[in-house]
Amino acid sequence: MKIKNCLFSVYQWIICVPIEIVLTLLTCIFTIILSPIFPNSNISYLPARWWSKATCALFFIKVKVKGLEKIERGKSYVFAANHQSMFDIFVIYGWLPVRFKWIMKKELRKVPFVGLASEMAGHIFVDRSNAHAAKVSIEKAKKQLKKGNSIVVFPEGTRSSNGQMRKFKKGAFQIAADLALPIVPVTIKGSFERLSKTSFKVKPGVIEMIIHQPIEVTPYLPDRIPDLMKTSWEVIHSVL
């Protein structure tokens, strides 16, 4: 077992990491080129989807998906997922077959190539330290939803450091309430074991993405949003 782990570590650092860097750069370049040409087309999503599937294959990660039949094609949703690992991004990008925009923390805008590609693709950066900037970001998200896109958010705000779910922030739920759009709870299971927040070593195995029944949302009064957050949290947590 020790020899096997040692060999995989060598494979990971000597082969996987250089290939992943090249794949990421190519994905960013193609996204920057294609996004302005095909702003609301599945074509602009292809580089990121191929990148995600290639990354999982490269690190021997098998992805299983349940519940896709619950999603109605052509309808906008607010997808809310738990966040345990960087691989959550690859799983959603590669296996969620809808047009969507991420809501992501503003710090990612500064990452070379990735930040620019994300901006060109129409993903939304949120400054949680600034109430006005956060409000502007929410309005941008609403515009994307009105164009027929969906929104994907990790309402915990960051990756879990211990594999346990954190409290949810209300931004995504406010958007769903304002536009009366369904919230789709998404459970990602097994990603923490593959790559935790404090580790640099990927462990091959299975990650499961479970799409839950959409929660229909009527325009909520402000005091009802905590109930929506609680229900979504409990649904996601129920299968972890």
- Domain ranges across the chain: 2-237
pTM of the model: 0.92
For 20, 70, 125, 152, the CA distances from 16, given in Å and listed in that order, are: 6, 35, 29, 27
Question: For the residues 206-211, what does the mean pLDDT come to?
Answer: 98
Residue, of 240 and 43, whose pLDDT is higher: 240
What percent of the chain shows pLDDT beyond 90? 63
CATH code for the domain defined by 2-237 = 3.40.1130.10
Looking at residue 39, what is its pLDDT? 80
Helix (H) or strand (E) holding 66: strand 61-66
Six token digits for residue 211: 């799409």
Q: Does the structure show a pLDDT above 90 at 106?
A: no
Looking at residue 220, what is its pLDDT? 63
Helices (H), ranges, the chain: 2-11, 17-37, 46-58, 87-95, 114-120, 131-146, 171-179, 191-194, 225-237
- Strands 78-81, 100-105: pairing kind: unpaired
List pLDDT tens digits, range 51-68: 999 999 999 999 999 999
Residues 207 and 62 sit within 8 Å (Cβ to Cβ): yes
List pLDDT tens digits, range 109-167: 899 999 999 999 999 888 877 777 777 877 888 888 888 899 999 999 889 989 899 99
Residue, of 232 and 138, whose pLDDT is higher: 232
Question: For the residues 14-23, what does the mean pLDDT come to?
Answer: 96
List pLDDT tens digits, range 188-204: 999 999 999 999 899 99
User: Residue 21: pLDDT band by 50, 70, 90 thresholds?
Assistant: very high
